[in-house]
């Protein structure tokens, strides 16, 4: 059970770079199964969900599920990998050609909120099953998450350099992730602001917070 | 199975008001069992944990556990109730006689971080098993959480009035909870700041963030 077997290799090829190959029927089916599995993990928790639950929800036979995915753990791995790879890839495209440090942080926040608000079940699963994966799976996901974390650290370090600011980058970055990730516990699309407006307000609050009282540009 | 049976009534009496009766042997034992149950829920998740696991961890017989606590759900309920009641009670004592709006928010942040950093397992259980309780249990916990949320809303509304500020109180309060609660995912006592220092830095960041660039007092 290694992370580079056929399914996950195809998934990562599809996600790499800007020139995506057209999604195949297989890719679409894979995406659907991951979405169903995400819903099941979201409702029952990773420990509480069985392969039988996952089979029922996805409409794939139990035998088929074992054949293609081998284990519940590998399904969770694919969900986590898929999510973080997609977010990082989109972010890189959006940051291209933008040089202003403040603007780059605003893009980071918008990109994160936009993804998570349209994938709230995935967001809950990622937050709750953070430590459910072991060994190779855990290492591979940790590497993508570390890359994402480091991009954010880099953006804040740019801002500090550009404006001559002093603050703990670690606490600032993790506070920002907290503000953004916590929304899965409270965001109600019927009454709360959408991703654009939420990103604008959180960006204002966060940027003012780290910029020592210097006014931010609108 | 109602929330006002003997054990939970004694628990809430012990937690009410400033003049606590001395903790009885029973109270201590109850506290220990809740602490063990918290660890088990933290490690295995609520769905994944069995009464047998809880019995093994707490050193209480399975029969005894059912006799005193009736169900796994009631144990989770007591953990949630105990945690939020304790936080709210401590907060009220600390806010007494403090009139400055900014200072009151600093106290709120310190009180929250102090409790959660010394009870990280409880923090994870509260975050993850937020929606595991049903009916009467869920309603009672929701009422305490609502009171806590409203205290924070009140503190921010005071600040807005006092300084003539304009911002969405809801987004500010929930961003603050996110910043604070997320620490259970990253705080490492060996390398990270303690509750005092973390509260100071988060208070600075948050207060600057909502105060529209007006400098905060140190």
10 Å CB burial of residue B179 (0-12, 13-18, 19+) is buried
Please tell me the distance from the alpha carbon of residue A14 to that of residue A136, in angstroms, as a whole number: 21
Closest-approach residue (CA) in chain A for B181: A178
Give B61-83 pLDDT, tens digit per residue: 999 999 989 999 999 999 989 88
Q: Given this model, what pLDDT does residue A11 score?
A: 38
Contacts with B116 from chain A: Cβ below 8 Å: none
Answer for the pair B37, B47: CB distance below 8 angstroms, yes or no: no
Question: CB distance B171–A48 less than 8 Å?
Answer: no
Say whether residue A212 is in contact with chain B using an 8 A CB cutoff: yes
Neighbours of A12 (CB within 10 A): 17
Three-state SS annotation for A38-77:
HHHHHHHCCCCCCHHHHHHHHCCCHHHHHHHHCCHHHHHH
Say whether residue A169 is in contact with chain B using an 8 A CB cutoff: no
Please tell me the distance from the alpha carbon of residue A111 to that of residue A109, in angstroms, as a whole number: 5
Q: Which two tokens stand for residue B185?
A: 């995912």
Q: Given this model, what pLDDT does residue B21 score?
A: 55
| A148 Cα to chain B: minimum distance (Å) | 15
Say whether residue A215 is in contact with chain B using an 8 A CB cutoff: yes
Please tell me the distance from the alpha carbon of residue A77 to that of residue A109, in angstroms, as a whole number: 25
Say whether residue B90 is in contact with chain A using an 8 A CB cutoff: no
Across the interface, which of B170, B177, B205 has its CB nearest the CB of A209?
A: B205
Which of the residue ranges A199-208, B48-57, B113-122 would you say has the lowest mean pLDDT?
A: B113-122
Q: What is the ipTM of this complex?
A: 0.79
Say whether residue B128 is in contact with chain A using an 8 A CB cutoff: yes
| Residue A180 clears pLDDT 90, i.e. is over it | yes
Q: Given this model, what pLDDT does residue B95 score?
A: 97
Say whether residue A217 is in contact with chain B using an 8 A CB cutoff: no
pLDDT band with cut points at 50, 70 and 90 for residue A195: very high
Q: Given this model, what pLDDT does residue B53 score?
A: 94
| A210 Cα to chain B: minimum distance (Å) | 6
pLDDT band with cut points at 50, 70 and 90 for residue B115: very high
Say whether residue B138 is in contact with chain A using an 8 A CB cutoff: no
Give B174-199 pLDDT, tens digit per residue: 999 999 999 988 999 999 999 999 99
Say whether residue B26 is in contact with chain A using an 8 A CB cutoff: no
Which of the residue ranges A4-18, A97-111, B88-102 would you say has the lowest mean pLDDT?
A: A4-18
In order of start, what are the domains of chain B with their CATH numbers? 6-210 (1.10.357.10)
| A99 Cα to chain B: minimum distance (Å) | 24
Give B29-62 pLDDT, tens digit per residue: 888 888 999 999 988 888 889 999 999 999 899 9
A-B contacts (CB, under 8 Å): 104
The dihedral formed by the CA atoms of A37, A40, A44 and A48, expressed in degrees to the nearest 10:
-40
| Residue A55 clears pLDDT 70, i.e. is over it | yes
| Residue A14 clears pLDDT 70, i.e. is over it | no
Q: Given this model, what pLDDT does residue B124 score?
A: 81
Say whether residue B201 is in contact with chain A using an 8 A CB cutoff: yes
pLDDT band with cut points at 50, 70 and 90 for residue A56: very high
Q: Given this model, what pLDDT does residue A25 score?
A: 80
Residues 50-89 of B with CB under 8 A from A: none
Question: CB distance A177–B177 less than 8 Å?
Answer: no
Q: Given this model, what pLDDT does residue B1 score?
A: 34
Say whether residue B110 is in contact with chain A using an 8 A CB cutoff: no
Question: CB distance A213–B210 less than 8 Å?
Answer: no
| Residue B4 clears pLDDT 70, i.e. is over it | no
Contacts with B185 from chain A: Cβ below 8 Å: 127, 130
């Amino acid at each position: 059970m290694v992370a580079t077997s056929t399914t996950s290799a195809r998934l990562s090829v599809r996600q790499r770079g800007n020139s995506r190959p057209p999604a195949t029927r297989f890719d679409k089916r894979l995406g659907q199964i991951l979405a169903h599995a995400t819903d099941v993990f979201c409702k029952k928790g990773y420990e509480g969900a069985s392969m039988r639950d996952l089979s029922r929800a996805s409409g794939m036979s139990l035998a088929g599920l074992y054949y293609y995915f081998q284990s519940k753990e590998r399904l969770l791995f694919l969900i986590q990998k898929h999510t973080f790879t997609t977010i990082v890839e989109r972010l890189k495209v959006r940051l291209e050609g933008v040089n202003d440090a403040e603007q780059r942080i605003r893009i980071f926040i918008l990109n994160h909120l936009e993804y998570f608000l349209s994938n709230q079940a995935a967001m809950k699963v990622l937050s709750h099953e953070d430590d459910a994966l072991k060994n190779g799976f855990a290492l591979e996901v940790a590497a993508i998450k570390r890359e994402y974390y480091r991009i954010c650290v880099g953006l804040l370090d740019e801002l500090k350099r550009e404006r001559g600011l002093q603050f703990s980058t670690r606490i600032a970055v993790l506070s920002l992730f907290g503000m953004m990730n916590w929304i899965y516990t409270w965001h109600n699309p019927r009454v709360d602001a959408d991703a654009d407006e939420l990103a604008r307000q959180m960006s204002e609050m966060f940027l003012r917070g780290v910029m020592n009282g210097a006014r931010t540009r609108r």
